[in-house]
Every structure is written in C-alpha cells, then in structure tokens.
A and B are shown apart, each in its own frame.
Chain A
C-alpha cells in the first residue's frame, strides 16, 4: 500500500458480507489459527474466533479493518491480539493478601507484602517453562533440524535466522515448517497446551 494513500476502513456490514462469502478453506484457516492462539489459554478456539468476529462487528469501539487487508488475516490478527491481551491480563492480576492487624502496630503503619516470587515459585515457573519447551520439542527427537527450528522459534529467532542456523535452503526449510505444523496438529489435535502435563 502507498504510504501517502488514505486508509479506507471497511464498515461493519462490509466485514459481515466478506465473512459470509468465506470458503471452507478460509474457515479452516481461521479455525486452525484459533487453535494455535488458544494454546494454554482459558478459552476455546471457537470462543476466541467468535470474540474476534464480535469485535470486528462492533461499530463504536470495535477493531478497524482497512480495505486493503484480507478479512481472514484481519480476524487472525484480532485473535492473536485478544489471546495475548487476555494472557497478559491473567499475568497482571493482583493477588490480594489479607493483612493481619498486629497488636502493637502504630496507626498508619502498613504491612508491606513482598510480591517477589519466592525461590520455590521461581523454581516451579522455570520447571513449567522447561516442561512446555520439552513437550513441544519431544515430537521432533527423531529430526534434529525440525527440533532446532522449534527451539529457535520458541527462543525468538526469525525465519531467515533459523534457515541459516539449520543450513537449509528455502524449499527444505518450508517443508520442515510444514512437517512441524502437521506433527504438532496430530499430536495435540484439540489444544496443544491442555494436553501437556
């Protein structure tokens, strides 16, 4: 899109019309994407997709879809943002700890609770993170390059970096990515994380 060009936004009815013309392949793309973004979240892929559509149809404070953006990609991005936002909300939830009224305490004196995780909590969280990484990489024990790609994605490497890291050409790299996706889908057909113990 030309940067100087004004962005034209789709109206709610235009978004609804576009959704009504989705093909079975479009719906499959959205469902599979919803499954990916519902990893370790407290909502189902269908709930996530429905929430993305609901926000797209909201006239006032809903998400804006420019006409140059494909509606399937727009809804996929909406799901990503909702899922990430919800996860962040859960992480940032405050824990209210009742403060006992100790005798001998002066008026106005406040009991400060140390909110830093104790060593045990830190250990549990690290264990949890390691368990997830291990569970996600385990299906690729027989394929070191695929395993390396999954580890690299989890660590934040981009496609180009991963390709160099694994010394794969574009075609071989794309085919590994496809293998990864298909294998993960097969092993965790419902929701990846809920199956990880």
Chain B
C-alpha cells in the first residue's frame, strides 16, 4: 500500500460523496429523466431491483436459519462430546437391558451388546441419553 493509493481512494470517495449527495437531493422528475436518458425505463429497473431485494431477503433468512441451527447444535454438543468410558457405556447398556423401567422391548442389536463394536455401543449409548436415559456418571454418583 502506498500513501498515493490512499489519496486516490480518498479523492474518489469525495467525488462519489458529492455526486451521491446531488443524486439523493434531486427531484423525482429530474432523476427519472436522467435515468431514462442514460439507462432506460425506470419502471422496468424498479421491477428488477425489487426482485433483487426479495432475493436478498431469502438469502438473509437462510443465513439466519443457518445461524439458528449452528446455535442449537452448539447447545446440544457438550452433552454428547463428554468423554465416555467404553466399559461404563457397555455396563450402562446392560443395566438398561435388564432394567424393569424400560417399557419398550429392546432391538435385537441392543440385546446382543457383547457382540457390538465400541463405536456401535457409543452410538447406542448416546441415542439412549438423547431419549432421556440417565448417564452412567449420574448412576455412579447416586443421582438416579
């Protein structure tokens, strides 16, 4: 960057400011006549600009939705990202299997816990936590 780049930018901004100021303060008739002369039909232009605006609204709404989703995911994440001891998870799965509080019959996969991989056990354990089963730590601490 040179100071000359800066001078050039400042000079152009000053000119743009002066011209924009004149544009904003010109009468409707004057500004419409100028536009018609150099660019075409202002009504057609207004239709295009309204379409551009509606596109912007959709993009802004999508951005808001994505931010809301990211926020919700960030709230959920800590529960599932707590390190889980695999032995504890297997024990908890076994205890749930034998627990009388489980009213729904367990799936075949859950019943054969000893044949499941660690990844499957962890995934099943997390699913159970999401369904409301108390975590292994709470049981150990006597909270449940």
Q: Is A10 an interface residue (CB 8 A)?
A: no
Question: Is the pair A189, B39 in contact by a Cβ cutoff of 8 Å?
Answer: yes
When chains A and B are docked, how far (Å) is the Cα of A57 from the Cα of B39?
A: 28
Residues on A with C-beta less than 8 A from B76 are none
The distance from the CB of B36 to the nearest CB of chain A, in whole angstroms, is 9
B5, B10, B39, B52: the one contacting A50 at CB < 8 Å is B52
Please tell me which one of the listed residues A29, A53, A84 contacts residue B23 in the complex, with CB atoms under 8 A apart.
A29
Q: How far is the CA of A40 from the CA of B13 in the complex (A)?
A: 10
- The answer, yes or no, to whether A14 is at the interface (CB within 8 Å) is no
Do residues A23 and B28 form an inter-chain contact, with CB atoms below 8 A? yes
Q: Which residues of chain A are near B69, meaning CB under 8 Å?
A: none
Cβ B22 vs Cβ A177 within 8 A: yes
* Chain A residues with CB below 8 A from B64, complex form: 59
Are B38 and A185 in contact (CB-based, < 8 A)? yes
A57 to B63, CA, bound (A): 11
Q: Which residue of B lies closest to A189 (CB)?
A: B38
**Contacting B32 at CB < 8 Å: which of A16, A25, A150, A189?**
A25
Q: How many A-B residue pairs have CB under 8 A?
A: 147
> How many residues of A are in contact with the other chain, CB < 8 A?
64
Q: Does A39 contact B (CB under 8 A)?
A: yes
Complex: A28 Cα to B35 Cα, angstroms: 7
Contact A50 B56 (CB under 8 A): yes
Checking A80, A117, A133 against B2 with a beta-carbon cut-off of 8 angstroms, the contacting residue is A117
Asked if B67 is at the interface (CB within 8 A of a chain A CB), the reply is: yes
Does residue B34 face the partner (Cβ distance < 8 Å to A)?
Answer: yes
In the complex, chain A residues 52-107 whose Cβ is within 8 Å of any chain B Cβ: 53-54, 57-60, 72-73, 76, 80, 83-84, 87-88, 91-93
Does B6 sit at the interface, judged by CB under 8 A?
yes
Q: Which residues of B contact A84 (CB under 8 A)?
A: 9, 13
Query: Among B42-50, B88-96, B116-124, B133-141, which stretch is in contact with chain A?
Result: B42-50
B1-12 vs A: 1/0 string, CB under 8 Å?
110111111111
Known contacts A24-B32, A25-B28, A153-B18, A122 near B4 by CB under 8 Å: yes
